[in-house]
């Protein structure tokens, strides 16, 4: 497997199970085993998924020199993920609180602390990316300066801009323009996903675009082939929480594409991977190994081909 560089957010994620949305007010609740705090964040989720699939990863991130930061360091060691490029330079480690109901719907509340005002040291980035074949640059601010450096090295760039709604979005435009592999969510698109991908590829000539469309699967656009089509979802086990589904889809696609160069099969397998992942509670839980993915994908392949 090729070495993959990842730059992205790590945070402490607290999940809280609720009965339904909207939430009725009550002064106290006792959801036994319904409140959990774990290490998550897009950068960590993608790194852990790729590592579970058998890839060698280099993870660059910023955390605080605090108790949550120590929790991150301990979790990286427990997961055998390299932590030398995860730097304790923030005023406090970012945190999120996620409410989720029995159907898997969720509300995410993210506190980024001061991470959006910080930069990642360029010399450490150069050390971290040495020998890597692909750069996953998540759309956190400290990744922005790394886009040009990855480009200078001739590395393919994969990024996920999540819930996007404007081609000229000031925050995400740099990431969209630099991406060779661009993932997005359908949730805030101003038009049909197909029209959106056509507009993105016309504006940026993006080689590969993927739009996650929730329970309907994903839309794939391959610029060189003139291909634009949907891959349906599969159900591999009951849904518990949809948090992290997009990160899982993204990571598994990067894994498959880096290994084979085939975006079509990579997306079909990524959909199987993400389907299984949402049977777990936390954003960084429920990942399959490569062998487990092979077996489950083979068992469910007919659903995507119908």
Residue 77 lies in a domain: yes
Residue 26 lies in a domain: no
8 A C-beta contact, residue 92 and residue 115: no
pLDDT of residue 272: 97
Q: What is the pLDDT of residues 200-228, one digit of tens each?
A: 999 999 999 999 999 899 999 999 999 99
The model scores a pTM over 0.85: yes
Q: Which residues of 113-145 are buried (b: 16+ CB within 10 A; e: fewer)?
A: bebeeeebeeeebeebbeebebbbbbbbbbbbe
The closest of 109, 138, 131 to 58, measured between CA atoms, is 131
Residue 27 lies in a domain: no
pLDDT of residue 306: 54
Structural element, H or E, at residue 15: strand 11-17
CATH number for the domain including 153?
3.40.1190.20
Q: What is the pLDDT of residues 30-67, one digit of tens each?
A: 999 999 999 999 999 999 999 999 999 999 999 999 99
Domain count across the chain: 1
What is the pLDDT averaged over residues 8-20?
95
Residue 72 lies in a domain: yes
Residue 120 lies in a domain: yes
Q: Which residues contact 291 (CB under 8 A, 6 or more apart)?
A: none
What is the pLDDT averaged over residues 190-199?
98
pLDDT of residue 304: 53
- Residue 25, classed as helix, strand or coil, is coil
Residue 28 lies in a domain: no
Average pLDDT of every residue of the chain = 95
Phi and psi angles of residue 137, each rounded to the nearest 5 degrees, phi first: -110, 95
Residue 63 lies in a domain: yes
124: containing domain: 3-21+33-300
pLDDT of residue 2: 74
pLDDT of residue 283: 82
Cβ-based neighbour number of residue 2 at 10 Å: 12
Answer whether residue 303 shows pLDDT above 70.
no
> Tokens 């640059």, residue?
137
Burial class (CB in 10 A: 0-12, 13-18, 19+), 44: buried
8 A C-beta contact, residue 282 and residue 32: no
Q: What is the pLDDT of residues 228-276, one digit of tens each?
A: 999 999 999 999 888 889 999 999 999 999 999 999 999 999 999 999 9
pLDDT of residue 202: 97
CA distance 251 to 268: 13
Answer whether residue 167 shows pLDDT above 60.
yes
Residue 79 lies in a domain: yes
């Amino acid at each position: 497997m090729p070495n993959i560089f990842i730059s992205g957010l790590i945070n402490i994620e607290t999940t809280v199970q609720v009965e339904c949305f909207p939430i009725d007010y009550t002064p106290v609740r006792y959801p036994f085993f319904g409140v959990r705090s774990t290490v998550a964040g897009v950068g960590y989720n993608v790194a852990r998924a790729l590592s579970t699939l058998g890839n060698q990863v280099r993870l660059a991130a910023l955390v605080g020199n605090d108790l949550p930061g120590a929790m991150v360091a301990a979790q990286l060691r427990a997961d055998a993920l390299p932590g030398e490029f995860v730097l304790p330079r923030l005023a406090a480690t970012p945190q999120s609180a996620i409410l989720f109901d029995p159907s898997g719907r969720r509300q995410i509340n993210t506190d980024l602390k001061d991470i959006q005002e910080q930069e990642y040291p360029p010399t450490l980035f150069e050390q971290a990316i040495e020998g890597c074949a692909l750069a996953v640059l998540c759309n956190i601010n400290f990744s922005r300066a790394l886009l040009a450096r990855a480009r200078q090295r001739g590395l393919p760039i994969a990024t996920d801009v999540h819930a996007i709604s404007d081609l000229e979005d000031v925050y995400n435009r740099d990431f969209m323009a630099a991406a060779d592999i661009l993932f997005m969510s359908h949730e805030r698109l101003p038009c049909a996903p197909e029209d959106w991908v056509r507009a993105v590829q016309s504006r940026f000539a993006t080689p590969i675009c993927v739009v996650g469309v929730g329970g309907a699967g994903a839309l794939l656009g391959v610029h060189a082939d003139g291909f634009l089509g949907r891959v349906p979802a599969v159900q591999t086990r009951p849904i518990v929480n949809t948090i992290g589904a997009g990160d899982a889809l993204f990571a598994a696609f990067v894994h498959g594409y880096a290994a084979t160069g085939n975006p079509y099969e990579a997306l079909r397998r990524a959909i199987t991977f993400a389907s299984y992942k949402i049977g777990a509670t936390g954003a960084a839980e429920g990942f399959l190994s490569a062998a487990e993915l092979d077996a489950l994908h083979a068992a469910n392949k007919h659903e995507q081909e119908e």
